[in-house]
Each structure stands twice: as C-alpha cells, then as structure tokens.
Chain A
Amino acid sequence: GEDVEQSLFLSVREGDSSVINCTYTDSSSTYLYWYKQEPGAGLQLLTYIFSNMDMKQDQRLTVLLNKKDKHLSLRIADTQTGDSAIYFCAEILYNNNDMRFGAGTRLTVKP
C-alpha cells in the first residue's frame, strides 16, 4: 500500500470550505506538499510546508501539519467549481530525494 494515505473522495457545495486530509508514515520527512491535478493535465504545485512549521496560509489555502500524529491537511476556503480536481499529498524525506505521493483525493464541487 501507499506510505502516504488519503481518503479517495470528497464532495462539497460551492462556497463551503473543503478539508482534505493526509497521513504519512515517515517522521524524517522534511517537506510536505499538496499538488492539484485536473483531467488530462500534469500536477500543479499548490503549496508546501517545511516540517518545522505548524501552519501555512496562502490566500484561500491553509495547510496544517501535526507532526506528532503525522497528519497533514489542506483547507480550501470558499470552494469554487474550478477547484474540482484530484489533490495529492506528497512527502520528501531528509535522507533521499524520493518524493512519495498518496493516491489522491478527488474533490467534487457541486453548484
């Protein structure tokens, strides 16, 4: 199975907040990432957080990191239909350069 785990689906109404959760297994992870993938497209880097941070905010995006529980979340405020996509959580380890991805969470935004 995946070292990085995410729930597969999330459905919200337009204007609501979306929270996508991720758990990772390696406490030596240095950076944790959120990528967005729209149909037929590559991965778009949304944001990332260094492991010594608890929170990072960037416009409508808020990333929360709980190192004790190895839990990462992405909150999207005022979710829009254009936010419908697959969101991938990823970690990169201190001792190598291997970026490991979760299986992705498919976010569906209903009007």
Chain B
Amino acid sequence: EAGVAQSPRYKIIEKRQSVAFWCNPISGHATLYWYQQILGQGPKLLIQFQNNGVVDDSQLPKDRFSAERLKGVDSTLKIQPAKLEDSAVYLCASSSGLGGYEQYFGPGTRLTVT
C-alpha cells in the first residue's frame, strides 16, 4: 500500500512570496490533516478535512493560509504572503475515518522563508 505522498520536499522562498504544497493521502482514507511542525516542536494541527469538507480549521491563520480538498482526495495548502515565522515542516496525514485513531504521515515539505 502506498503511503502519503507530498511535494515538493523542500521549498525556499522570500518573505511576502506565495507557496503551495500538495498532498495525496493513502487510497481510501477519508480524513486528511495538515500539520505545521516548527523546529524543536511537535506538530500542530492546521486543518482537518473529512472527504471534501472542513472538520476543524480553528488553528489555521486564515489571513494568509488556505487549504482545499476539492474532490475529496488530493489536497493543497497555500500560504500567501509568507512570513519568516512560517518556516517549518508542513506535514500531511490521513486516516480512514473521523477520530484519527491511526494517522499516517507523509514525509513533509520543509519550507524556508528568507
């Protein structure tokens, strides 16, 4: 079974630029999560989708971050405009159902904002 795929693996941008990350969850997994992991910290949930609907986006900085999962499979996370403090690893995870009892993570996208 293929795991969670993410691209790109690395991205370097200047502040105020825009960036987008892509995630393809495990086939058949209805729930998809985006996490932000700042160096030296644990992952923090940004947004959670159930199929193509948003379940929880309470910690998503909506003035600059947006995410979508239009067909209930792949998802994109966008930052516009980026700030220096957005430098982090962005992790995508998926699980088969709500509750996330077993969340499987992708390798992450390491973003550096200069």
Residues of A within 8 A of B (CB): 2, 4, 30-31, 35, 40-45, 48, 88, 90, 92, 96-104
Q: Which listed residue, A48, A88, A97, A103, touches B40 by the CB 8 Å rule?
A: A103
Of the A-B pairs whose beta carbons lie under 8 Å apart in the complex, a sample of 13, sorted by A's number, is A30-B99, A41-B108, A42-B106, A42-B108, A44-B105, A92-B99, A92-B100, A97-B98, A97-B100, A98-B48, A100-B42, A100-B45, A103-B42
Count A/B pairs, Cβ under 8 Å. Answer: 58
B107-A42 in contact (CB<8A): yes
| Cα-based distance from A42 to B35 in the complex (angstroms) | 11
Task: Categorize the interface residue count of chain B.
Answer: 20 to 34
Residues of B within 8 A of A (CB): 4, 31, 33, 40-45, 48, 55-56, 91, 93, 98-108
B91-A97 in contact (CB<8A): no
CB distance from B56 to the nearest CB of A (A): 6
Q: Which residues of B contact A43 (CB under 8 A)?
A: 43, 91, 93, 105
| Cα-based distance from A45 to B105 in the complex (angstroms) | 8
CB distance from A17 to the nearest CB of B (A): 24
Known contacts A4-B42, A41-B107, A102-B42: A48-B102 contact under CB 8 Å = yes
Known contacts A43-B91, A43-B105: A101-B42 contact under CB 8 Å = yes
